[in-house]
Structure 1
Amino acid sequence: MLKKVENGPAVVVCNTCQNSPEAREDEHGRHGGERLAEALTRLQASDPRYDGVAVQDMPCLFACSEFCTVHLRAPGKVGYVMGRFEPTENAARAILDYALAYSQSDWGAVPYEEWPEGVKGHFITRTPPEGFVVE
Protein backbone atom coordinates (compact mmCIF):
# COMPACT_ATOMS: atom_id res chain seq x y z
CA MET A 1 0.00 0.00 0.00
CA LEU A 2 1.25 3.49 -0.83
CA LYS A 3 1.10 6.50 1.50
CA LYS A 4 0.90 9.99 -0.02
CA VAL A 5 3.82 12.29 0.88
CA GLU A 6 4.90 15.76 -0.17
CA ASN A 7 6.30 15.83 -3.72
CA GLY A 8 9.58 17.67 -3.30
CA PRO A 9 13.21 17.06 -2.45
CA ALA A 10 13.36 14.20 0.03
CA VAL A 11 15.61 11.71 1.72
CA VAL A 12 13.65 8.46 1.97
CA VAL A 13 15.28 6.23 4.54
CA CYS A 14 14.77 2.49 4.87
CA ASN A 15 13.60 2.09 8.47
CA THR A 16 14.10 -1.69 8.44
CA CYS A 17 17.71 -1.79 7.17
CA GLN A 18 20.18 -3.87 9.07
CA ASN A 19 22.54 -2.21 11.51
CA SER A 20 25.77 -3.35 9.85
CA PRO A 21 27.00 -6.14 7.57
CA GLU A 22 27.29 -8.35 10.65
CA ALA A 23 24.12 -7.49 12.59
CA ARG A 24 20.52 -6.78 11.68
CA GLU A 25 19.83 -5.14 15.05
CA ASP A 26 21.86 -3.42 17.73
CA GLU A 27 22.17 -4.65 21.32
CA HIS A 28 18.75 -3.11 22.10
CA GLY A 29 16.98 -4.90 19.24
CA ARG A 30 16.75 -1.78 17.05
CA HIS A 31 17.40 -1.82 13.31
CA GLY A 32 20.06 0.48 11.92
CA GLY A 33 17.53 1.98 9.52
CA GLU A 34 15.26 2.95 12.39
CA ARG A 35 18.17 4.62 14.17
CA LEU A 36 19.30 6.43 10.98
CA ALA A 37 15.73 7.62 10.33
CA GLU A 38 15.59 9.06 13.85
CA ALA A 39 18.96 10.80 13.45
CA LEU A 40 17.89 12.29 10.09
CA THR A 41 14.52 13.44 11.45
CA ARG A 42 16.05 14.94 14.59
CA LEU A 43 18.76 16.80 12.66
CA GLN A 44 16.37 18.02 9.94
CA ALA A 45 14.00 19.40 12.59
CA SER A 46 16.81 21.13 14.51
CA ASP A 47 18.46 23.02 11.63
CA PRO A 48 16.46 25.44 9.44
CA ARG A 49 19.00 25.01 6.60
CA TYR A 50 17.33 21.65 5.90
CA ASP A 51 13.73 22.96 5.78
CA GLY A 52 13.54 22.41 2.00
CA VAL A 53 14.44 18.71 2.25
CA ALA A 54 11.88 16.32 3.68
CA VAL A 55 12.87 13.24 5.64
CA GLN A 56 10.55 10.35 4.89
CA ASP A 57 10.85 6.73 5.91
CA MET A 58 9.46 3.43 4.71
CA PRO A 59 10.16 -0.26 5.20
CA CYS A 60 12.65 -1.94 2.89
CA LEU A 61 14.23 -0.22 -0.10
CA PHE A 62 15.29 -3.71 -1.32
CA ALA A 63 18.98 -2.85 -1.00
CA CYS A 64 19.44 -5.66 1.49
CA SER A 65 22.98 -6.51 0.39
CA GLU A 66 23.90 -3.11 1.82
CA PHE A 67 22.87 -1.53 5.14
CA CYS A 68 21.43 1.79 6.30
CA THR A 69 20.23 2.87 2.86
CA VAL A 70 18.51 6.05 1.73
CA HIS A 71 16.93 7.16 -1.54
CA LEU A 72 17.44 10.79 -2.51
CA ARG A 73 14.77 12.10 -4.87
CA ALA A 74 13.14 15.25 -6.23
CA PRO A 75 10.78 15.95 -9.14
CA GLY A 76 12.63 16.23 -12.45
CA LYS A 77 15.98 15.21 -10.97
CA VAL A 78 18.14 12.12 -11.10
CA GLY A 79 17.62 10.05 -7.94
CA TYR A 80 20.28 8.26 -5.93
CA VAL A 81 20.34 5.27 -3.60
CA MET A 82 23.13 5.45 -1.05
CA GLY A 83 24.01 3.00 1.67
CA ARG A 84 26.56 1.52 4.02
CA PHE A 85 26.08 4.36 6.52
CA GLU A 86 26.48 4.12 10.25
CA PRO A 87 23.21 5.12 11.96
CA THR A 88 24.75 8.25 13.53
CA GLU A 89 24.27 11.99 13.57
CA ASN A 90 27.50 12.42 11.56
CA ALA A 91 26.12 10.25 8.76
CA ALA A 92 22.76 12.05 8.95
CA ARG A 93 24.51 15.42 8.61
CA ALA A 94 26.51 14.26 5.56
CA ILE A 95 23.34 12.90 3.94
CA LEU A 96 21.37 16.08 4.60
CA ASP A 97 24.25 18.33 3.48
CA TYR A 98 24.41 16.41 0.21
CA ALA A 99 20.60 16.49 -0.09
CA LEU A 100 20.64 20.27 0.34
CA ALA A 101 23.18 20.69 -2.49
CA TYR A 102 21.19 18.19 -4.57
CA SER A 103 17.93 20.09 -4.02
CA GLN A 104 19.59 23.29 -5.24
CA SER A 105 21.07 21.66 -8.36
CA ASP A 106 19.48 21.96 -11.81
CA TRP A 107 18.90 18.26 -12.50
CA GLY A 108 20.36 16.40 -9.53
CA ALA A 109 24.08 16.46 -10.32
CA VAL A 110 26.24 17.87 -7.53
CA PRO A 111 29.90 18.55 -8.45
CA TYR A 112 32.17 16.04 -6.70
CA GLU A 113 34.16 18.79 -4.97
CA GLU A 114 30.93 19.84 -3.20
CA TRP A 115 30.20 16.36 -1.81
CA PRO A 116 30.51 16.04 1.95
CA GLU A 117 33.21 13.50 2.87
CA GLY A 118 30.57 11.42 4.63
CA VAL A 119 28.77 10.47 1.38
CA LYS A 120 31.81 9.59 -0.71
CA GLY A 121 31.86 5.86 -1.38
CA HIS A 122 28.22 5.42 -0.35
CA PHE A 123 26.47 5.67 -3.74
CA ILE A 124 24.83 2.45 -4.94
CA THR A 125 22.65 3.49 -7.90
CA ARG A 126 21.30 6.51 -9.72
CA THR A 127 17.89 6.54 -11.36
CA PRO A 128 16.64 8.89 -14.06
CA PRO A 129 13.51 10.91 -13.42
CA GLU A 130 10.33 9.78 -15.15
CA GLY A 131 10.45 10.58 -18.86
CA PHE A 132 14.22 11.21 -19.01
CA VAL A 133 17.61 9.53 -19.22
CA VAL A 134 21.00 11.10 -18.55
CA GLU A 135 23.06 12.18 -21.56
Structure 2
Amino acid sequence: MIPATLFVCSLCRFSATEKSRGGLSGGQYFINQLQTELAARNLQDTVHLQPVRCMAACSRPCNVTLGAPDRLTFILSGLSTTESATELVEFCQQYTTYPGGRVPFKERSAVIRAASAFILPALPAPN
Protein backbone atom coordinates (compact mmCIF):
# COMPACT_ATOMS: atom_id res chain seq x y z
CA MET A 1 0.00 0.00 0.00
CA ILE A 2 1.14 3.52 -0.84
CA PRO A 3 0.95 6.01 2.08
CA ALA A 4 -1.64 8.76 1.73
CA THR A 5 -2.77 11.83 3.65
CA LEU A 6 -6.38 12.42 4.63
CA PHE A 7 -7.00 16.09 5.39
CA VAL A 8 -10.14 16.62 7.49
CA CYS A 9 -11.72 19.93 8.41
CA SER A 10 -11.72 20.05 12.20
CA LEU A 11 -14.14 22.99 12.33
CA CYS A 12 -16.96 21.52 10.24
CA ARG A 13 -20.37 21.49 11.83
CA PHE A 14 -22.47 18.39 12.44
CA SER A 15 -25.06 19.94 10.12
CA ALA A 16 -26.14 23.33 8.84
CA THR A 17 -27.99 23.91 12.11
CA GLU A 18 -25.81 22.06 14.64
CA LYS A 19 -22.31 23.40 15.24
CA SER A 20 -21.18 21.21 18.15
CA ARG A 21 -22.14 18.44 20.57
CA GLY A 22 -20.70 18.09 24.01
CA GLY A 23 -18.05 20.70 23.24
CA LEU A 24 -16.83 18.95 20.05
CA SER A 25 -17.26 20.32 16.54
CA GLY A 26 -18.64 17.93 13.97
CA GLY A 27 -15.22 17.85 12.32
CA GLN A 28 -13.40 16.89 15.52
CA TYR A 29 -16.01 14.22 16.24
CA PHE A 30 -15.45 12.87 12.71
CA ILE A 31 -11.66 12.91 13.19
CA ASN A 32 -12.06 10.87 16.39
CA GLN A 33 -14.23 8.33 14.55
CA LEU A 34 -11.74 8.14 11.68
CA GLN A 35 -8.85 7.49 14.07
CA THR A 36 -10.79 4.58 15.56
CA GLU A 37 -11.67 3.16 12.12
CA LEU A 38 -8.10 3.51 10.81
CA ALA A 39 -6.75 1.69 13.88
CA ALA A 40 -9.38 -1.06 13.54
CA ARG A 41 -8.17 -1.72 9.98
CA ASN A 42 -4.50 -1.31 10.94
CA LEU A 43 -4.20 1.63 8.53
CA GLN A 44 -2.95 4.31 10.93
CA ASP A 45 0.58 4.01 9.47
CA THR A 46 -0.63 4.00 5.86
CA VAL A 47 -3.22 6.80 6.00
CA HIS A 48 -1.93 9.89 7.78
CA LEU A 49 -4.87 11.77 9.30
CA GLN A 50 -4.20 15.52 9.13
CA PRO A 51 -6.72 17.88 10.75
CA VAL A 52 -7.01 21.31 9.13
CA ARG A 53 -8.75 24.33 10.62
CA CYS A 54 -11.02 25.13 7.67
CA MET A 55 -11.54 23.94 4.12
CA ALA A 56 -13.86 26.85 3.17
CA ALA A 57 -16.88 24.75 2.21
CA CYS A 58 -18.93 25.44 5.31
CA SER A 59 -22.27 25.09 3.52
CA ARG A 60 -21.60 21.35 2.97
CA PRO A 61 -19.99 19.84 6.08
CA CYS A 62 -17.91 17.72 6.49
CA ASN A 63 -15.10 18.24 4.00
CA VAL A 64 -12.01 16.11 3.40
CA THR A 65 -9.21 15.73 0.87
CA LEU A 66 -7.36 12.49 0.17
CA GLY A 67 -4.07 12.65 -1.69
CA ALA A 68 -0.53 11.36 -2.17
CA PRO A 69 2.33 12.10 -4.59
CA ASP A 70 1.75 10.60 -8.07
CA ARG A 71 -1.88 9.77 -7.20
CA LEU A 72 -5.21 11.43 -7.91
CA THR A 73 -6.45 13.86 -5.26
CA PHE A 74 -10.06 13.45 -4.13
CA ILE A 75 -11.95 16.34 -2.56
CA LEU A 76 -15.08 15.15 -0.80
CA SER A 77 -17.81 17.37 0.59
CA GLY A 78 -21.02 16.80 2.51
CA LEU A 79 -19.88 13.72 4.45
CA SER A 80 -21.94 12.96 7.53
CA THR A 81 -19.76 13.46 10.59
CA THR A 82 -21.67 10.72 12.42
CA GLU A 83 -22.25 8.14 9.69
CA SER A 84 -19.46 8.29 7.07
CA ALA A 85 -16.29 7.18 8.87
CA THR A 86 -16.50 3.51 7.88
CA GLU A 87 -17.11 4.28 4.20
CA LEU A 88 -14.37 6.91 4.11
CA VAL A 89 -11.77 4.62 5.69
CA GLU A 90 -12.79 1.84 3.28
CA PHE A 91 -12.23 4.30 0.42
CA CYS A 92 -8.83 5.27 1.86
CA GLN A 93 -7.88 1.60 1.88
CA GLN A 94 -8.95 1.23 -1.76
CA TYR A 95 -7.07 4.42 -2.67
CA THR A 96 -3.80 3.15 -1.22
CA THR A 97 -4.01 -0.14 -3.12
CA TYR A 98 -5.12 0.96 -6.61
CA PRO A 99 -2.43 2.24 -9.00
CA GLY A 100 -2.43 6.03 -9.04
CA GLY A 101 -5.26 6.09 -6.51
CA ARG A 102 -7.69 5.36 -9.35
CA VAL A 103 -10.45 3.57 -7.45
CA PRO A 104 -13.02 2.48 -10.07
CA PHE A 105 -16.27 4.44 -9.75
CA LYS A 106 -18.35 1.27 -9.36
CA GLU A 107 -16.20 0.15 -6.43
CA ARG A 108 -16.72 3.35 -4.45
CA SER A 109 -19.54 3.29 -1.91
CA ALA A 110 -22.67 5.35 -2.57
CA VAL A 111 -21.57 7.68 0.23
CA ILE A 112 -18.22 8.39 -1.46
CA ARG A 113 -19.78 8.78 -4.93
CA ALA A 114 -22.28 11.31 -3.59
CA ALA A 115 -19.62 13.27 -1.68
CA SER A 116 -17.10 13.44 -4.55
CA ALA A 117 -16.84 17.16 -5.31
CA PHE A 118 -13.57 17.16 -7.31
CA ILE A 119 -10.96 14.71 -8.53
CA LEU A 120 -7.68 16.42 -9.35
CA PRO A 121 -4.80 15.10 -11.45
CA ALA A 122 -1.83 13.65 -9.64
CA LEU A 123 0.97 15.96 -8.55
CA PRO A 124 4.40 14.64 -9.40
CA ALA A 125 6.40 13.08 -6.60
CA PRO A 126 9.29 15.24 -5.36
CA ASN A 127 12.67 14.33 -6.82
Distance of 1:110 and 1:37 partners within structure 2: 23
Q: How far apart are 1:103 and its partner, in Å?
A: 1.3
Instruction: Please name the residue that 2:57 is paired with.
Output: 63
Q: How far apart are 1:8 and its partner, in Å?
A: 3.4
The amino acid of 2:80's aligned partner reads E
Instruction: Please name the residue that 2:81 is paired with.
Output: 87
Q: How far apart are 1:56 and its partner, in Å?
A: 1.7
Distance of 1:22 and 1:95 partners within structure 2: 23
Identity of aligned residues (%): 24
The amino acid of 2:77's aligned partner reads G
The amino acid of 1:68's aligned partner reads C
1:14 matches 2:9: yes
Contact 1:78–1:127 at 8 Å: present in 2 too? Answer: yes
Instruction: Please name the residue that 1:4 is paired with.
Output: none
Q: 1:63 to 1:96 in 2, by over 3 A?
A: same
Divergent runs of 4+, >3 A? none
Structure ranking higher in strand proportion: 2
Distance of 1:63 and 1:108 partners within structure 2: 24
Q: How does the TM-score come out when normalised to structure 1?
A: 0.80
The amino acid of 1:14's aligned partner reads C
Aligned pair partner of 2:69 in 55, 67, 75: 75
Contact 2:35–2:44 at 8 Å: present in 1 too? Answer: no
Give the secondary structure class of the aligned counterpart of 1:107: helix
1:123 matches 2:99: no
Count of residue pairs the alignment pairs up: 123
The amino acid of 2:58's aligned partner reads C
For residues 20-74 of structure 1, the C-alpha deviation after alignment (integer angstroms, 9 at most, x for no partner) is 1222223x24211111011001111222256422222111112222101111111
Distance of 1:46 and 1:112 partners within structure 2: 25
Contact 1:8–1:75 at 8 Å: present in 2 too? Answer: no
Q: How does the TM-score come out when normalised to structure 2?
A: 0.84
1:38 matches 2:41: no
**What's the C-alpha RMSD, in Å, of the aligned pairs?**
2.0
